[in-house]
Amino acid sequence: MKRKDFIQLSALATTAMMVPNFLRATDSLVSVNGKKLVIVQLSGGNDGLNTIIPYRNDIYYKSRPTLAIKEDKLIKLNDELGMNEAMAGMKDLFDEGLLTIINNVGYPNPDRSHFRSMDIWHTASDSSDYVNTGWIGRYLDAACLGCAKPYSAIEIDDSLSLALKGQHMNGLALHDVNLFYKLVKDAEPFNKPGFNAANDNLNYLYKTLAETSSSADYLYQKSNIYHSRAAYANNGFAKDLKTISELIISDVDASVFYTSLSGFDTHVNQQSAQSTHLKELSEGLNVFVNDLKTNGRFNDVTIFVFSEFGRRVNQNASGGTDHGTANNVFVISPNLKKTGIFNETPDLARLDQGDLIHKIDFRQVYATLLSQQLGVDDEKILGRKFEQLGFV
């Protein structure tokens, strides 16, 4: 075997090791209850106070003399809170009763490191614990242990997040179905009858490649059933949402889809950068929801949007904000039990060393999504009981 061919095969198999057995072309996979959970991660720590704005609060304006968004520059939601004017698309969802905003979400003893806080959100662990499995990965473990047709989770990215890694099962990281298919097919010389693996290592790689080829065929065939004509914007996030919509509408048998939007670490010149990314988020989700609605596939979908932490209440000297703690999260669904503003606004008069104090543990949100949307035992997956919030 030529060295370059072995390297190509090894690289493909390394990718394939992240492909669970649930994506076999011969399997007919059905999620627990037919419902889908779409998770959107806002990487960098989105500033919740300039996303959902307490425009009646004097402390907000005193704390942010140049960064605060004035009343005439926002979209009013009620007599206390307004939405960043870049989020007109999400305001439409709000008005349709498809959006709930949950304030003051965080966890005890918060960590202000991007990597550590994101790990905590991914694993659903306490801030003092280090866990190597994610909450969605454990969902796969719990749902699939001992069953022939595991439930699936697909991340639209080049690498798999910790959130989707289980003890026995992993989700699938896939940025582009066609590129994944091409990568597998480029290795076809090793995937034909009569290919002779020279040793045990090559034999293992060959078997892995064969399984990956089956998975690639399944996804490629399914993804080409529906090609969206919706007016998605020409940016990476919108393209990822388009991929997810095409997979859902094409009946790819996954229960969880995961994607992210980066750029929210706004220490400097925040207003312009945050507005740009909030517009991408808002417009992308609006088109995504309407794409699913048009094709009759939105009824079973819930979208959850979060960031690893919020920002500090006071602006810094560079026209931005530094790492904070508690934040707002968004849930978009046609089956909300409480729409609009879910709970009380942030208390800016009572802070912890300049940061918002969380009132809702993010694992309460997870417990609700696991139980009510995915139909599984949340306590088994999260390791202990968290009070559900009942928003779906």
> Domain 35-179+231-382's class?
alpha beta
User: Tens place of pLDDT for every residue, the chain, 392 residues?
Assistant: 455 554 444 444 444 444 433 333 323 333 456 899 999 999 999 999 999 999 999 999 999 999 999 999 999 999 999 999 999 999 999 999 999 999 999 999 999 999 999 999 999 999 999 999 999 999 988 875 544 333 378 999 989 999 999 988 888 888 888 887 787 677 655 555 555 555 555 665 565 566 566 667 777 888 778 889 999 999 999 999 999 999 999 998 889 999 999 999 999 999 999 999 999 999 999 999 999 999 999 999 999 999 999 999 999 999 999 999 999 999 999 999 999 999 999 999 999 999 999 999 999 999 999 999 999 999 999 999 999 999 99
Taking the C-alpha atoms of residue 136 and residue 382, their distance in angstroms, rounded to an integer, is 10
Contact 143, 173 (CB under 8 A): no
246: Cβ–Cβ under 8 A, 6 or more apart, which residues?
223, 226, 227, 228
* Partner residues linked to 172 by β-bridges: 154
The predicted pLDDT at position 215 comes to 66
Taking the C-alpha atoms of residue 19 and residue 94, their distance in angstroms, rounded to an integer, is 37
Radius of gyration of the CA atoms of the chain, in A: 22
The predicted pLDDT at position 288 comes to 98
Angle between helices 200-223 and 177-185 (to 10 degrees): 140
The predicted pLDDT at position 374 comes to 93
Which pTM was predicted? 0.88
* CA-wise closest residue to 255 among 347, 381, 342: 381
